[in-house]
Amino acid sequence: MPRRLTLAASLCLVAAVLLSAQLTVVFVSGKASFRTGLSAQWKTLETGQSIGALGFVRTGPGSSVELTRRDAYRLLVSSNSLLRLEAAMPSSRASSSPDHVTILTGKILSEVMPAGKGFQVRTQESLMGVRGTQFAVIAGSGGEALLAVKDGQVLSVDKDIPGAEPEPFIVPMGSKRQSGFGGTPQPPVRLDAGDEAYFDFAALDAMAAGKSPDTLYDHWKAGQDRLFADFTAADLEDRRLFELEEIDSLWRFLIKENAAWREAIDSFTRGK
């Protein structure tokens, strides 16, 4: 093959790889913004645009944004949320850092297709690994988190608790699990009456059908939700982006150092 054609083919391959690592903004309601790094500026998200594989997402009061990565997964970020995205490059999918979202505060609804198996949602105190499912994660700024599974199953792992052995839990369809509330790790329990509305399962249905959700449960109304009783605008400030970086780095370290966790997560998310 002539050198010119080889170069052109290489450039096309690089472009295809970069495109596959991007996420598309399906819709925005209210105000949502994206920032590529700690030194970059926030940019308003608009329907139809593409964003890079790595960066921070923030939503304001009464706002939401849906993001998708091709046929791998869809993410619906609810209001007053602050999170970090990292979509692995195709060449690095076998690495120790698969596609994942680290959420500091707020709520994220996820639909993970078979092509997105291995996807993770991380909070301050827990990590959720999936291989194909619909689930919701609500994270309070104090480190508490709630996981609810609408379809499929999710593996949930907490950070080390002094005097306790780390234990991965499999949370099945129709169940929920809490973490970061202190004490011993809590096993999953069945969803209560009213939980489907609380975790916005109807929004998951709308997202799967390619529609925008009509409304989302407002967890930040005064006295309505114990996770956000002390929520303030400071929980969305830029300074907290450093905490997101630290949380993500700590999870990388914990997974690397804890062979039992790593084996459990890899085995579950790969469907073995």
pLDDT digits (tens, 9 = 90+) for 219-231: 887 668 888 888 8
pLDDT digits (tens, 9 = 90+) for 133-155: 999 999 998 889 999 999 999 99
pLDDT digits (tens, 9 = 90+) for 87-96: 876 554 444 5
Arithmetic mean of pLDDT, 43-57: 95
Instruction: Reply yes or no on whether the pLDDT at 189 is more than 70.
Output: yes
Task: Decide: helix, strand or coil at residue 265.
Answer: helix
* Overall pTM > 0.95: no
Query: Alpha-carbon dihedral of residues 63, 204, 195, 99, nearest 10 degrees?
Result: -80
Cβ–Cβ < 8 Å for 136, 64: no
CA atoms within 13 A on the CB side of 181: 11
Q: For residue 178, how many other CB atoms are within 10 A of its CB?
A: 19
Enclosing H/E stretch for 262 = helix 259-269
Q: Which residue has the higher pLDDT, 247 or 11?
A: 247
Query: Alpha-carbon dihedral of residues 40, 45, 49, 54, nearest 10 degrees?
Result: 40
**Domains in the chain with CATH codes:** 20-269 (2.60.120.1440)
Strand partners, 51: 23
Amino acid at the residue 119? F
pLDDT at 272: 56
pLDDT digits (tens, 9 = 90+) for 103-142: 999 999 999 998 898 999 999 999 999 989 999 999 998 8
Alpha-carbon span 204 to 188, nearest angstrom: 21
